[in-house]
Structure 1
Amino acid sequence: MSATLSSALETFKQQRAAAEAHYLKVNRVSVFFREYMAAVETLLAALWDKHFQNSGLCLMAIGGFGRGELYPYSDLDLAVVSSETVSDDLQEKIAAFVQDLWDMKLSPSVKSGSVDELCESVRDDITGDTAFLEARFLFGNRQTADELTEKMNAQRNVAAFIEAKLVEMEHRHAKSQGSGAVLEPNIKSCPGGLRDIHTLLWIAKAQGLAANLPALVQQGILTRTEAGMLSHGYRRLAHIRIHLHLNAKRAEDRLLFDLQPQVAESMGYQGLNLRRQSEELMRVFYRAIKTVKQLSGILTPMLQSRVSSTPMRVTLRIDDDYIQVNNQIAARHTDIFFRRPEHIFKIVEIMQQRNDITALEPQTLRAWWGATRKINRSFYQNPENRRRFAGFFRRGNGLTQTLRFLNLYGVLGRYLPAWEKIVGLLQHDLFHIYPVDDHILAVVRNVRRLALDMHSHELPYASALMQSFEKQDILYLAAFFHDIAKGRGGDHAIQGITDARQFAADHFLTEEESDLLAWLVENHLLMSTVAQKEDIQDPDVLDAFCKRVQTHERLSALYLLTISDIRGTNPKLWNAWRASLLESLFHAAGRYLAGNGGNPHALFGRRQQEAAELLTRAAVPEKQQKKLWNALGSAYFARHQSREILWHAANLVHDFETPIVRSRILFKSDSFQVMVFMPNGPRLFARLCRIFSRHGFDILAARAFITEHDYILDTFIVQIPSQHAPEDYPDIQSALEAELNSFIHGHTVAETSSHSRRISRRSRYMPIAPSITITPEEDYPDWYSVEITAVNRPFLLADMAEVFFAHNVSLRYAKISTLDERVEDNFIVFSPDLKNPKTQSSLKQALLEQLSV
């Protein structure tokens, strides 16, 4: 590299560092872009003089660089343009120019060729055409640059270009689905991200309008308010993207977990712990993209309508105030929302009632949205507005779309201040993946789907139950209010009762409806907690649950709400095993409430009788049956449900001395149930868990039982790794049974140490603090309940079982609740030593060492 270029590069580095330092001091996006691009252009000038002085070529900035938006590590989009075909000599110079840019670590993306060649290259390339839409002259022959711009604009089919950009946006949004895109969003390409703002400006520029917001105001395309809001959202996102690049030291546009705390701190969210910093950053992000989505929904169709050919306009009268235009509703006079604010809800009510209306006409939407900023206390107190809002839930039809529409445009937060507090609020608890407002609306959607016959195939029993439930609107409201008190500190279920009861009083609900709504909000976690963390075969557990529920109506409503809540929390959480737990608890509680619960001894006897009847039908002598029951002991029937007892009995009745392994694929699930029967020995439970973990299985539930003749009868529910197709399940089952059979006969030894403690990036950078609670079991001396919450990882259950063994604690029952990357486990253990506080403290400390990330 020549001395001149070395000097230019050193100057560039100094100017770049100065631009970054100045930006961090003044916190202005425009300042960074101006100073950083000036540094880049100074360096490019030196390179241009070296390679192309008097060449007749021209250099143009295209893409983001042409737009004047160059981020710290973004690609440098350039075009080297010739009026005629580029000679071999100039091709070599262009290649050397590009190589110099790479050597200087500027990540060039360079297009080169003649005016005609470049025009032809983008004729069917929407990405290339878009890049040249933003072309800006830098150096060389300006006449060539003007010629290229003129020809590019002349050949562009504006309507087709706009249609292609909108299709591109739809595809981009579709890719931004799933938990990864929600938790670690791409700030550039996500819905409402920077690329959506660019798309809006491209559509404007392609039809000859200005490509900046102030000029679009002057041209009458945007209002000052709209331009101000869009500019504010853009600056928020641009700030985050600049900080992302600076912290990652690369072109990283995803808000990765490991970068979220760094970006939050560098942006000034200080004085908070890392999790709170990240949550505050993400809340700012979600609110910014929401603003962009609002304005994009209004402005994009307006801009498109200026050039696009539309179907024949069909206009129908709705009433004195509204007409239907094709599939849209339009106000005859758009100032109606300001003159008569009750129409803010009335037009939405009409749209909800009419299946043939899917949207507000753009000018009407613009006026309606402007009027919504006038929603205040007096608007809320208007009985007509309250009736209409409650009516959205009473009707049910189109409820999901209605609430999402009202949330997108900020109406829910203006009408209900409690709602505004949860908009964009993300929860770093390792199983919620959506902001609270999006989660709530997903739960409402799930409840609503249960009411629609067209979706009955998804959950047939729950759908039938919902479709016969008389107070569907109260269930919708329960879904709407169940998490509304999140983020306030304290128990959100208790705090939400106040909001629910106030709403009920204000919106004409009866006392009975208000009581059911408040009870569901208060107890919305009850059923999932009992089903997933407690032994629902224990009559005391069932009795306590039913005392809280009391009525069949509450039971049905809670069951339906719980299903919908879990399905709306994280797609990974809902599976056949979790569904079976809830269904088992629902039916058991239903029988109990109907007076068929019986006393515990009668229940245990009934379970034994059912198994005896099966064995009798299989011609097993009664004497042999009694031997089996004696070997299992009376406690066995208290700890196992009827289906397990029947399965165990059928496999053990003829020989309960020989070790065996049996497994079965659970109906319509991705899980196996596995039973292991063998003589008791040290660390068996831990060693079995290690075998499952080594095969990649998640242990969903485990029941450790010791028979009267000192055999273990351990039953596991294990989830098959997601990469396996159902047709592979039999082979996986055979391989697992083979290893377990080898183990129980002493031919292999499972490892006693963990091979892997790998955890996800989310768990590593946004961990939850592990917690351990040890509680004595009432009426059972020396028995204890150990509740553990921690980050999930491979071999965790096996390692905890090793700790129990080392402390002379006998594990008798394990209820494993795996919530994506979080575990909430409940163990029933036996140990006289735990009476000693020092032993308890030692056990807790050893467990904490295993649970720490």
Structure 2
Amino acid sequence: MPRITSQRAIINRRSVLARLGALALDDLPRNRRRSRVLDLFKQVLAEGRAEIRRRFDQSGDGSLTVRESCFLIDQLVRLIHDFAAENEFPPGVRTLGETMTLVAVGGYGRGELAPHSDVDLLFLLPYKRTPYHEQMVEFILYMLWDLGLKVGQSTRSAEECIRGAKEDLTVRTALLEMRWLWGDQDLFAELQNRYRAEVMSNSGVEFIESKLTERDTRHAQMGDSRYVLEPNVKEGKGGLRDLHTLFWIARDMYGVAGIDELAEAGIISAQAASHFAKDQAFLWTVRCHLHYLTDRPEDRLTFDVQPEIAQRMQYVDRAGSRGVERFMKHYFLIAKDVGDLTRLVCALVEERHRRKPRRLPFRRLFSRRTMLDGFVQEGGRLDVAAPDQFETDPGAMIRLFHAALENDVDIHPRALELIHRNLKRIGSTLRFDPNANRLFVEMLTSRKNPEVALRHMNEAGVLGRFLPDFGRVVAQMQYDMYHVFTVDEHTLQALGILHSIESGDLAEEAPAASEVIHQISSRKALYVATFLHDIAKGRGGDHSQIGADVALKLGPRLGLTDEETETVSWLVRHHLAFTRVAFKRDIDDSKTIQDFVALVQSPERLRLLLCLTVADIRAVGPTVWNAWKAGLLRELYQRTLEVMTGGLAGLAHSTRVKAAQDALRVELLRQGWPLTDIETHLARGYPGYWTGCDTATQSRHAHLVRAAEDSGAPLTVEPRVDAQRAVTEMVVYTGDHPGLFSQIAGAMAVSGANIVDAKIITLTNGMALDTFFVQDSEGAPFDSPAKLNRLANTIEQVLSGRLRLAQELASRKGNLPSRAHVFKVPPRVLVDNKPSRSHTVIEINGRDRPGLLYDITSAMTQLGLQISSAHISTYGERVVDVFYVKDVFGHKVEHERKLERIRVTLLAALKEQNSTDPKTRAAE
């Protein structure tokens, strides 16, 4: 535990007492005296905090800072108590019933206070409150509150404390860390002795199970992954609260004051205790930086504070990685280490209660011992057959995970601890051992969900040691607002999703992939490619190309044939191709399909690439995958396959158009539509519309169009909240005209709606049926009734010319959420005539901001461009918008001077309010 040096520089108790004594001698009214006393305490608190902050800025030691903060508050509370007892409520003749003890509980009791943490106090009374108690408690609390401190307080007798501890887990946990602060020590000793005798000795198992259940619930609420990219340092998985939980369990089981005492008693290794101390010191340092930087009790490590904290903790940029990425990687490795400590303590819990078979909740864990694949199976868990098994046979570490997966059993925490101690034995000999690689590939391609085994291997540190290329992406963050997980976590989730696709669990969400995955011949290549698709992230350059080279190197080592190795390498090189074409190109354009066929070349590769793409997208984050993207991928797959298998794309496409129309016809008939109305509506859609939307969406459109046509309304706006995707779908039906897209985009920007996706549809009756997917500035659905009404009114005012967009938007620019300002995306405009025979394709990349889409599309209108198709994609802070345009005469733009003018004009529109960064960013 860090020792506090030069304590008087933080607070000089003698000096403060002298000043308080002088104030007490002044003949002042009570209210005025209290005011001057408060001013003195404010000065003392401010000076103490400034000294602690100065020391922190100098040393960067958060574990010392929380001790010093606790020391400062201890002294203040004692001084306030004594001043009140001696001057405000003089003692006189005091009975034993008027004694009182101040007890620090919770984190404060543990002796740890972050700069903006709450101060948890227990006013411990002999048996009942007296007027004196009430006066003292009130004076102390109001003084602390007036000092600006956040105080959690309770006033109880020992009997009430014991009763509360038995009934309430929160009370029991707070008292577990109680610390005498000031007042009657005998009263505190009585509470402490009763707590040990009546609470701790009677419900150890129940307490431990409750704390572990509480931890699991907290993890679920925080995202249930230690690799979310904006982690909560206190409550998140692998954070401080997990270390506190370990401390509570150890204290309850062994009565120790600190984890170091477990090591001194030989219960855990000195190495484990050292890891606990280092992890806690790192997390406390990060939390202190967070509190100081934000000047509030902030515990979430958001994107906007990560670079500054990384700089303050002296993480500098290096080749291939930024300082903030190195800082976050260290954070995630610490979180992983906390997980290792959790498993170790759980093993101790089981060992402790192995010797107490009367504890029924644990009895089921200790059934008979059997041998399984060279390991001991006991209570449904695999353990080592001998303590030195991994020392004498490092390959047993690989076999252990293989046996656990194949036999559907867990691995004992003790075995995982032994693995951790022997990781250095995984060297080149084991890495190139044919049997070890065979077992690894069997796990990677297992029908029993490879994510389970590989996640355990990764958590234990084995995966990164056995495959150093994977070790480079362990805890590697992807510093943007699009990716939710670190690279290794994303990869493992992708494998789990691929398994779910194969097992049919995602047949409704991803029907095409769920069907074709059973038609592939190269199953092994698919799983290996999924494992390797992001293996080169963070190395600089094109991670797809570098990853393909890594695959060529690893294939032979993993026992893949030359054909399998080449297939894996091709899939890694082109794992982004499906999304680039499906989401950024017009698949109704025949040349788009022809170019994609030329790239993919075979139906087998097409099927493999589709499955890999679906798994990759779904593993990015919980809200990224949606039915629209599923439909685009499915349509691209089907059209490409038709060309590959006979060139009947036109016939097959018309067949799908007819099938879609028939499905809608059946649905509308079921809803009671007259057949004549149905046929009228079916005639409104061009072929691309019928293959681009599902029946449910087309049914909603049909009702909207019918109602609008019957009423003669010039404009119809229909919102629909999609809570699962956290977006609001806005369908706009109005007469089509040049600049319409730009006007609608501007109206949405004025209303505070952020467009994250859009689809333009023009019907045969000359009406536009445009769909916009929008969110508010916080990334939540734009769902307030007042906001939606305002949005509809704004669109109507803009289209009628009553609202001047340029002036309205000018007042709103710069209101980008602070988190997005962190990210620098170099603006880029690509104008290309090769992807389409009939249109010029414009691709725009840049950092998202309010009104960006309006600026871009209004610039296109001024250039005389007609937008035929728009593909709007938002990847966190980055937008990739693709437009298929023609000139005013309905032709491609081919004159070089005109093309250059388009580039310059759009780049100017894109750069507005967009600071550039000389460093190029990696592809998604």
Q: Which residue of 2 aligns with 1:40?
A: 73
Deviation, 1:714, is 4.0
Is 1:450 the counterpart of 2:501? The answer is yes
Letter in 2 for 1:311: R
**TM-score with structure 1 length normalisation?**
0.86
Tell me the distance in 1 between the aligned counterparts of 2:493 and 2:148.
45
Letter in 1 for 2:189: D
Of residues 215, 240, 247, the one that matches 1:194 is 240
Q: Which moved more, 1:500-509 or 1:602-611?
A: 602-611
The one-character-per-residue Cα deviations of 1:192-229 (angstroms, maximum 9, x if unpaired) are 11111111111111123323222111112211121122
Tell me the distance in 1 between the aligned counterparts of 2:753 and 2:528.
41
Contact 1:176–1:191 (Cα < 8 Å) also in 2: yes
Q: Which moved more, 1:55-64 or 1:340-349?
A: 55-64
Q: Which residue of 1 aligns with 2:211?
A: 165
Q: Which residue of 2 aligns with 1:700?
A: 757
Of residues 303, 325, 332, the one that matches 2:378 is 325
Of residues 163, 184, 196, the one that matches 1:141 is 184
Q: Which residue of 2 aligns with 1:844?
A: 907
Aligned in 2, Cα 1:102/1:366: closer, same or farther, shift over 3 Å?
Answer: same
Tell me the distance in 1 between the aligned counterparts of 2:405 and 2:773.
42
Contact 2:717–2:730 (Cα < 8 Å) also in 1: yes
Of residues 27, 36, 47, the one that matches 1:14 is 47
Tell me the distance in 2 between the aligned counterparts of 1:814 and 1:733.
24
Q: Which residue of 2 aligns with 1:78?
A: 121
Of residues 268, 280, 283, the one that matches 1:222 is 268
Map 1:312-391; keep pairs closer than 5 Å: 312=364, 313-319=366-372, 321-355=374-408, 357=409, 359-391=410-442
Q: Which residue of 2 aligns with 1:796?
A: 852
Is 1:516 the counterpart of 2:567? The answer is yes
Tell me the distance in 1 between the aligned counterparts of 2:694 and 2:116.
63
The one-character-per-residue Cα deviations of 1:594-648 (angstroms, maximum 9, x if unpaired) are 02256x9x9999999999999xxx999xxx99xx99xx9xxx88x8776799999
Aligned in 2, Cα 1:759/1:580: closer, same or farther, shift over 3 Å?
Answer: farther
Aligned-partner SS, 1:221: coil
Aligned in 2, Cα 1:750/1:249: closer, same or farther, shift over 3 Å?
Answer: closer
Tell me the distance in 2 between the aligned counterparts of 1:764 and 1:341.
47
Deviation, 1:121, is 2.8
Deviation, 1:63, is 1.4
Tell me the distance in 2 between the aligned counterparts of 1:605 and 1:416.
49
Contact 2:870–2:883 (Cα < 8 Å) also in 1: yes
Map 1:61-140; keep pairs closer than 5 Å: 61-140=104-183
Tell me the distance in 2 between the aligned counterparts of 1:644 and 1:37.
61
Aligned-partner SS, 1:395: coil
Contact 2:748–2:795 (Cα < 8 Å) also in 1: no
Tell me the distance in 2 between the aligned counterparts of 1:2 and 1:736.
53
Q: Which residue of 1 aligns with 2:544?
A: 493
Tell me the distance in 1 between the aligned counterparts of 2:327 and 2:274.
21
Tell me the distance in 2 between the aligned counterparts of 1:17 and 1:613.
74
Map 1:426-441; keep pairs closer than 5 Å: 426-441=477-492
Of residues 812, 825, 839, the one that matches 1:769 is 825
Q: Which moved more, 1:670-679 or 1:215-224?
A: 670-679
Of residues 243, 247, 252, the one that matches 2:289 is 243
Deviation, 1:743, is 8.7
Tell me the distance in 2 between the aligned counterparts of 1:579 and 1:612.
19
Map 1:577-726; keep pairs closer than 5 Å: 577-597=628-648, 678=735, 680=737, 683-690=739-746, 694=751, 696=753, 698=755, 700-703=757-760, 714-719=768-773
Deviation, 1:233, is 1.4
Contact 2:307–2:324 (Cα < 8 Å) also in 1: yes
Tell me the distance in 2 between the aligned counterparts of 1:569 and 1:344.
30
Deviation, 1:830, is 3.4
Deviation, 1:301, is 3.7
The one-character-per-residue Cα deviations of 1:436-485 (angstroms, maximum 9, x if unpaired) are 11111111111011111455444344223223433323222111100010
Q: Which residue of 2 aligns with 1:269?
A: 315
The one-character-per-residue Cα deviations of 1:348-377 (angstroms, maximum 9, x if unpaired) are 11101112x1x2223333223322332112
The one-character-per-residue Cα deviations of 1:167-216 (angstroms, maximum 9, x if unpaired) are 11111111111899933221111111111111111111112332322211
Contact 1:447–1:475 (Cα < 8 Å) also in 2: no
Deviation, 1:689, is 3.6
Tell me the distance in 2 between the aligned counterparts of 1:846 and 1:324.
66
The one-character-per-residue Cα deviations of 1:797-820 (angstroms, maximum 9, x if unpaired) are 233221222333333332212335
Tell me the distance in 1 between the aligned counterparts of 2:421 and 2:218.
29
Aligned in 2, Cα 1:645/1:298: closer, same or farther, shift over 3 Å?
Answer: closer
Q: Which residue of 2 aligns with 1:472?
A: 523
Is 1:31 the counterpart of 2:64? The answer is yes
* 5+ residue gaps, structure 2: 1-33, 92-97, 354-358, 664-673, 888-892, 917-924
Letter in 1 for 2:210: A
Letter in 1 for 2:773: Q
Q: Which residue of 1 aligns with 2:279?
A: 233
Deviation, 1:270, is 4.5
Map 1:747-762; keep pairs closer than 5 Å: 751=805, 753-754=808-809, 761=817
Is 1:203 the counterpart of 2:249? The answer is yes
Tell me the distance in 2 between the aligned counterparts of 1:391 and 1:267.
42
Tell me the distance in 1 between the aligned counterparts of 2:732 and 2:57.
61
Aligned in 2, Cα 1:162/1:370: closer, same or farther, shift over 3 Å?
Answer: same
Deviation, 1:100, is 0.7
Aligned in 2, Cα 1:374/1:229: closer, same or farther, shift over 3 Å?
Answer: farther
Deviation, 1:266, is 2.0
Q: Which residue of 1 aligns with 2:27?
A: none
Letter in 1 for 2:757: L
Aligned in 2, Cα 1:612/1:261: closer, same or farther, shift over 3 Å?
Answer: closer
Contact 1:466–1:560 (Cα < 8 Å) also in 2: yes
Aligned in 2, Cα 1:120/1:717: closer, same or farther, shift over 3 Å?
Answer: same
Letter in 2 for 1:566: I
Aligned-partner SS, 1:489: coil
Deviation, 1:75, is 1.0
Aligned in 2, Cα 1:718/1:298: closer, same or farther, shift over 3 Å?
Answer: same
Contact 1:428–1:766 (Cα < 8 Å) also in 2: no
Contact 2:729–2:773 (Cα < 8 Å) also in 1: yes
Q: Which residue of 2 aligns with 1:408?
A: 459
Contact 2:628–2:693 (Cα < 8 Å) also in 1: no
Tell me the distance in 2 between the aligned counterparts of 1:191 and 1:500.
32
* 5+ residue gaps, structure 1: none
Q: Which residue of 2 aligns with 1:462?
A: 513
- Equivalent pairs counted in the alignment come to 827
The one-character-per-residue Cα deviations of 1:225-258 (angstroms, maximum 9, x if unpaired) are 2112222211111110111111111211111233
Letter in 1 for 2:269: T
Between the two proteins, what is the percent identity of the paired residues?
A: 27
Aligned-partner SS, 1:467: coil
Letter in 2 for 1:314: S
Q: Which moved more, 1:433-442 or 1:690-699?
A: 690-699
Tell me the distance in 2 between the aligned counterparts of 1:174 and 1:180.
11
The one-character-per-residue Cα deviations of 1:707-736 (angstroms, maximum 9, x if unpaired) are 9xxx9654533337699999x99xx99999
